Amino acid sequence: DWEEFHIMVRNDSNSSTNPWEDILIRAKFHGIEPENLQTEYEYNGAWNSAYEYDLRLLNSETIGSAVDLGPEEGYVIDPQTEKDLGFRVKADRPVENLRVEFQAITSNYSSENYVRKIKNPENTKLLNPVQDTYIDQQNPTTNYSEKRHLELTTQENNNSYALLKFENSNIPTSVDTAQLYLYQYWGSAFSDLKNSEVTVRIYTVPEDLNLESTTWKTGFEVSDEIVAEKEILGIREWYRFDLTDYFKSSTKDEATLLVKFSKDSFDNEERRIRFDSSEADRPPYLVFG
């Protein structure tokens, strides 16, 4: 059922000043995905559908939904007046302890007090991996697809790589930009890697792998081309890899990516970093613009 609510917005500016224009109300729903949420706003006596988009498009670290409520031209609020804005929301699945935030946004003001609209969220698509895992040289028959982390390791005869798989059917036919996000939450003895300019690289896997059964021993082909590369950032950092060129030219049924250090078997000390996997709080995701 729909849950209706109202927000009162008051413009306390001097009566001689210009009205507030192009005002929308941004609602952030933490813990529920856009596909499980419907929102509408009341305008001129009728209910109108709004566009829900992924909260992570606003550089949020948490999964959820965002929606900019109001007519395309925004609301106008005259000085010394108060406007009653009506909205309603419906969730397609039960949600406990749903946290909701509201803020006024605009695109007409340069002041830091205003939050700007996100540009064309309907033209931006966010994808989660359909599968992810990592493979470990020292445990060559073990599959790690149910782990909450993706591990990269470099040590003599002990290397680990991460794998992420995205379905081509969900990838836009026209790609202007493509960015992969990974969150490093932990690491061990990686400072020497940074000092030696060892990086994190992305390669592609031309095979259609089932990552729920892939291990080091099963083996697979990896492209020689480096698709993207970033320096090691450190703990509690988001990595953003630019994959635009690859996805503009890719015609594969699946997009499977391999993530590894630029140097295998660095020395005899175990050096590792861990990213959150799809099972964790800050899962990997791919944004197309």
The predicted pLDDT at position 98 comes to: 87
Alpha carbon of residue 270 to chain centroid:
30
The burial of 274, by beta-carbon neighbours within 10 Å (0-12 exposed, 13-18 middle, 19 or more buried), is given as buried
User: Residue 89 pLDDT more than 90?
Assistant: yes
Structure tokens at 273: 């970093």
Query: Using one digit for the tens of pLDDT, what is the confidence trace for 1-24?
Result: 899 999 999 999 999 999 999 999
pLDDT at 114: 46
- Residue 231 one-letter amino acid: E
Determine the Cα–Cα distance for residues 79 and 44; give it in Å rounded to an integer.
Answer: 21
Decide: residue 262, CB within 10 A, 0-12 exposed, 13-18 middle, 19+ buried: middle
In this model, does residue 109 exceed pLDDT 60? no
Pure H helices in 142-275:
191-195, 244-249
Average pLDDT over residues 203-210: 92
Q: What integer pLDDT is reported at residue 117 of this predicted model? A: 56
Task: Indicate the DSSP class of residue 191.
Answer: H
Residue 110 has pLDDT above 50, yes or no: no
Cβ neighbours of residue 38 under 8 Å, at least 6 residues apart? Answer: 49, 52, 89, 90, 91, 92
State residue 113's pLDDT score: 45
Distance CA 123, CA 108 (A): 21
Enumerate helices (H) and strands (E) in the chain, giving the number of each.
2, 21
pTM of the model: 0.81
Tell me the pLDDT band of 118, cut-offs 50, 70 and 90: low
